[in-house]
A and B are shown apart, each in its own frame.
Chain A
Amino acid sequence: MIVEILSKVHARGLVDWARDKPQVVVLSADLTGSTEISEFREAYPDRFFSMGIAEQNMVSFAAGLAREGYVPMIHTFAVFIYRQALNQLVSSVAYSNLPVKFFGFLPGITTPGGATHQAIEDVAVLRAIPNMTIFETGDATDVETVLDPVLADPGPVYVRMLRGEVPRLFPRDEPFIPGRSRRLRTGTDLTLLTAGICTEEALRATAVLGARGLSVEHLHVSTHKPFDDPAILEALTKPRFGVITMENHTIVGGLGSAVAELMAERGIPRRLRRIGLRDTFAHGGSRPYLMREYGLDARALVQSVEQMVGRSLEVAESELQAVRIEPVHSLAKAEAL
């Protein structure tokens, strides 16, 4: 799998996109470089607000700006939004359905920053809050094109963002569409639903699975809430063996749970396997190490498939294409986190 790797996609995209949108303001809690908004600050200093390391005030403050007609875009690490300022997100923003947009960085195990920095239950927590819309980006095209849907949504939106070096998996001219998954492969033996960085990881295995004669339906899910994509429902009813979900998140309350709820409510009699963090915290380490250690990688997917179809597929490690190694220190990131 040869993919183009892009650097600081959001940093450049946001500046261009926001040029003709004076209502858009950006709020930062001392993570300006780390959330790729330094360029925005330089381009539009009067629309950039430094709020200090004070997320609770930042979220409520943003609600006040939103009440006066601005569209505040909060940028910080995801954990500092939904863990540090959850009550503010609920009572100041979500209840009133205000257009405050939350850009949460470092989803799941995408950071060596350890358990305090890894947002492993953000989708679960925020999915339970009325009025929230939840998006997740999985590649450079998602990152570039999620901004229009974020702005078009009249209420609060939370986006699981990618930063630094991001692969382009999807064509540039096929933008992020809210509520619509991307069909990456069509098949009838298994349905595979992946989100975020798990899509890139799953792509390492799906070609091999195909070569073993398995017909896989693979959808990339980028809207966690509302979870009403008709293509997902259709894909859940198709497979001979069952459904596998794969998420960079705990298996409690995220994509796997949403799929389970849908299958149960619609009476879809298929087996379901959920790949994700198995109700555990992670710790600090590289992405490939953590994905292997916690069973989020292509190998874990192959094992799940084998269990579901009831036979060994004899897949060698070398067949799962080389993992992209990200340097811990790189020009694409402000610090090693």
Chain B
Amino acid sequence: MLANSEAAEPTWVSRVRETAAAIRRRVLEHTIANDGGYLSQACSAGEILSTLYLRTMRLGPSLASPIPPLFSSVPHRGAPTHTGGAFHGVAAPELDRFFLSPAHYALVLYTALIEVGRMAPAGLAQFNKDGSTVEMIGAEHSPGFEMMGGALAQTLSQAAGIALARQRRGDAGRVFVFLSDGELQEGQTWEAFQAMAFYGLDRMVVYVDVNGHQCDGRTDEVMRIEPIEARIESFGCRAVTVDGHDPVAIDAPTRNPVAGPPLVVLCRTDPCRGIPLLESRRPRFHYLRFTSAAEREAFRTFYAASMAKGAR
């Protein structure tokens, strides 16, 4: 059944590919059931998140209940703060930390947590339900989140503060940040790169999902961000461009950490990857809502076929 080249793949690579496909299937299933969802982000980021969780990052086992707790309260005086960081395990000196910045990727992140065994599938049933922590835009109490990233760009700066604190303590663990390419339009992102380079935060690794699309459409038609690699290098960080759907390429830049400027891995991705039906919606599929019953039916048919294939 497998071609020779695929048969030669290491087990982890196959597992990443399967996990990425499973993330897309589950996000698609959710999108069909809820008549809308952040589907293109699952297409672009499936392999990035799967590679980070399964291969690249060193995280402890989840400390959270597999079914996420219900919302208790916002942080305030006398109220202990519960973050979704528990899904990433204990914060220990030798372990990595992971912060996903674009909080609207929440559906994709929750699904990734499920597919890598850190959250129960039933947890996703709470998505966007009143009184739930599994919110549409991830908040700090949401599974896999520790910060309020919804405004964009702020998570990178906060992670840099955490990285500086860890650098001062001499922690061996790294700080990983997942960024969307749209955030490269935010001034604060460049303030953060500037500070990361200035303080030599060489234990920081930023993965950018360069899918070339944002809410209004194609990024190069909304506000140009290219040449990204040169821009990042000029701010004093190290930039590497990889195929964001190739697990080996995604993992490679961090395999043998070298001392030096903070590393930014630019993952070139396809926001229709794995779900070619999405092509018809180019260039605006930031949030997919079906325009007709027929379109929804087409996605349902595609989903059924992909399930059959995935189960094979």
> Which residues 79-94 of B sit at the A interface, judged by CB distance below 8 A?
79, 81
Q: How far is the CA of A184 from the CA of B305 in the complex (A)?
A: 80
A57 touches B76 (CB 8 A): no
Query: How many Å lie between the Cα of A72 and that of B164 in the bound state?
Result: 12
| Given A52-B195, A57-B195, CB of A96 within 8 Å of CB of B81 | yes
Q: Once the chains bind, are A88 and B161 in contact (CB under 8 Å)?
A: no
Contact assessment for A95 and B75 in the assembled complex, using a CB-CB cutoff below 8 Å: yes
Residue from B77, B140, B157, B166 within 8 A of A57 (CB atoms): B157
Cβ–Cβ < 8 Å partners of B220 in chain A: none
Across-interface contacts of A63 in B (CB, < 8 A): 147, 154, 157-158, 161
Whether, in the assembled complex, B162 has its beta carbon less than 8 Å from a beta carbon of chain A, the answer is yes
CB distance from A52 to the nearest CB of B (A): 7
Contacts of A95 in B (CB 8 A): 74-75, 140, 148
Interface contact A56-B191, CB-CB below 8 Å: yes
Residues of B contacting A92 in the complex (Cβ-Cβ under 8 angstroms): 147-148, 154, 157-158
Q: Across the interface, which residues of A come within 8 angstroms of B148, CB to CB? A: 91-92, 95-96
Q: Is B210 in the interface zone, CB < 8 Å from A?
A: no
Q: Which of A57-74 contact B (CB under 8 A)?
A: 57, 59-70, 72
Question: How far in angstroms is the closest Cβ of chain B from A60?
Answer: 3
B194 within 8 A of A: yes
A: contact size bracket? 20 to 34
For the complex, is B283 an interface residue (Cβ under 8 Å from A)? Answer: no
Q: How far is the CA of A337 from the CA of B300 in the complex (A)?
A: 65
Q: Is A91 a contact partner of B150 (Cβ separation < 8 A)? A: yes
Contact residues in A for B191 (Cβ distance below 8 Å): 52, 54, 56-57
Q: Are A97 and B81 in contact (CB under 8 A)?
A: yes
A336 at interface by CB-CB < 8 Å = no
Give Cα distance in the complex from A130 to B161, angstroms. Answer: 23
- Could you say which residues of chain A place their CB within 8 Å of the CB of B75? 95-97, 131
Question: Number of B residues contacting the other chain (C-beta, 8 Å)?
Answer: 34
Interchain CA distance A124-B160 in the complex, whole Å? 31
- Closest CB in chain A relative to B55 CB, distance in Å: 26
Is A43 interfacial (CB 8 A cutoff)?
A: no
Within the assembled complex, what's the spacing in Å between the Cα atoms of A67 and B85?
A: 12
For residue B132, CB closer than 8 A to chain A, the reply is: no
Within 8 A of B (CB), among A167-219: none
A45-89 vs B, Cβ < 8 Å mask (1 yes, 0 no)? 000010110101101111111111110100000000000000110
10 contacts between A and B (CB under 8 A): A51-B195, A54-B194, A54-B195, A56-B191, A60-B154, A64-B158, A64-B159, A72-B161, A96-B81, A97-B76
B residues contacting A by CB (< 8 A) are 74-77, 79, 81, 140, 146-148, 150-151, 153-166, 187-188, 191-192, 194-195, 198-199
> 6 tightest CB-CB pairs across the interface, nearest first?
A64-B161, A60-B157, A68-B165, A57-B191, A54-B191, A64-B158
A residues bordering B, Cβ < 8 Å? 49, 51-52, 54, 56-57, 59-70, 72, 87-88, 91-92, 95-97, 130-131, 154-155
6 further A-B contacts with Cβ under 8 Å, apart from A69-B165, A155-B77, are A56-B153, A60-B157, A61-B164, A68-B166, A95-B140, A97-B81
